[in-house]
Structure 1
Amino acid sequence: MAQLADLVHWSERFLAAADFTDYAPNGLQVAGPEQVRKVVSGVTASQALIDAAAERGADLILVHHGFFWKGEDPRIVGMKYRRIGRLLEAGMGLLAYHLPLDAHAEVGNAVGLGRALGWRVEGPFAECNGGPLGRVGSLAEPCSGEELAASLGEVLGRAPLHIRGHDRPIRRVAWATGAAEGFIEEAVERGMDAFVSGEISEPTVHIARECGIDYFAAGHHATETFGPRALGRHLAKEFDLDHEFLDIDSPA
C-alpha cells in the first residue's frame, strides 16, 4: 500500500515529466483515494478500461493516453462525462504520462519495442518537446523487409503494413511508437534501411518509395503497450502494490 501523493511524486521524478512540453497534462489527471493498493495500467483511458479496472477493485489507473488534450472541447459532457463519472463512482484515480512515457530510457515505449524485438539501441531519434521519442539501432542479423514484417507481427500480435522502399538487406532501423510517421524523413537523412512507427499517413507511402527506405506501420496501440506495462511493474515493485496490465484491444 502507498500514499497516492508519494506514488505521483516518485513517477514525476522517475520520468522527468517536467522536462516535456506536451499535448495533455502529465501526472495525476483525476484524484483518487489517498491510499493505493491496486494499480491497473493500460494504453488508453477508454470506457472499457475504466469499467474493467473498477471490476477488479483498482484504486488507480495508469495510462499513456489520458484526458484533456490540447484543442479539444473542455466541457465535461458526453463521453468524457461518462468516463470521469465512472472513475469517481468507483473511487479510482487516473494517472497519465504521454511523451515522458514514450521517451524514457528504461520503461519507455520505444525502448520496450526495441527490446522485445532484440534490436541493439545505438542512440536517440525523433527529438520532440523535451526528449527523444524514438531510437536508432541495428539488427543482430540482417534480414529482408518481409522477415522484419514477420518479426513485428509475431511480437505485436498483428501484421504491420509494410511499404517497400528497396531490396537491400535491412541492417539499421529507426523507430518511434504511436503517431510518429512524420519522422520518416529524419530516418532517411540518417541513412536507415527501415523505419517503424505506429500510424501511417498518406505522404508516408510516397516518402518511403521515393527515398528508398522500408517503412512499417505497426499499430499505434500495439506499439505503445510497453510503457504503461513497464511503469506499472516499476510502481508495484517500488511501493509493494498489486499491479495488472489490461490490454483493451484496438486495431488502430
Structure 2
Amino acid sequence: PPPRWIWSGTAICGIPSEVSRAMLRGWHANNGVVLGNPRLGFVCTGQTVDGQPGLEGYYKEWDHDLAPEERLQFSPGECCPPFRPDLAPWLPENTWPEERLQKVLRNYAMEYVTSILPETIAVLGPEEGGHLAGAAARLVGMHTFDEAARLLGGVEAGAAGFAKAFTRLARGQDDDAELQVEGSAATVRQTSWRLMAEREALSPRVFDAWNELWVGAALAHDRFMRVEVTERRDRGDPCWRWKFG
C-alpha cells in the first residue's frame, strides 16, 4: 500500500516522520475543508516511515466543527481490517481498457510535478526554491535514466540517440515534440508544455528547474554531451527548442 511505492529503493530510510505528517496535514486533514465539511477529519493509525506496514487510517465525521489542529489525529493502537479483493471497487474493462488506465497513471504521476515545482518556488522564493527544485530534478534525472532507458527499450548512443528518447518521452506526455538530426547534433522543438498547461503566470524558474531533469538524464547518458535551450515560449519565443550535442 502507499506510500511505500513513492520511495524508490532505500530512499524511504531518509524520510523523517515529520515529512509524512506534513503531507497528511496538507492533504488528508484538509479534505473536509475542501469539501465544505468542517466536521470531517482524518485519523492516522500507521505510517510506513515509522516502521509500520503502510500508511493507514480513516476519515471520521465528528459532531462539531474541527479546529485546524484537530483535523489530523493519530491512533497507532488501531489496526486496519484484512484487505478483501472481492469487496474492493473495480473498473469495467469495456469502459476502462488498458490504454486508458495507463494514461490515468501517467497523468497522476505528472500531477505531482505540476504541483510540486511551482509551489516549491512560490513558498521558498525563486532563488532558493528554484535552486533546490532544480538540484532535485537533476539528481532524479541522473538516478532514473537507466530505468527509463530500459522502459524505452534502450537509448542509442550519442546526442541523436538521447534526443530521440527525449522526443518519445515528450510525446508520451502529449506534447508536440519534433526531432531534427544534423550530423552528430540534434534539436527538439515543441510548442506545447502539457505539464504546466493549466498553470498561469509561472515564474521562469519553474521551467529552469524542470529542465534540470533532462540535464541530469543527459549527464547519465553521456557526461560530455551538452544540453542547450535555445528558445523558450515563456520568454516570448514561438516554441521551446533544445539543442543536444
Q: TM-score of the superposition, structure 2-length normalised?
A: 0.29
Q: Give the number of the structure whose alpha-carbon radius of gyration is greater.
A: 2
Higher share in helix: 2
Q: TM-score of the superposition, structure 1-length normalised?
A: 0.28
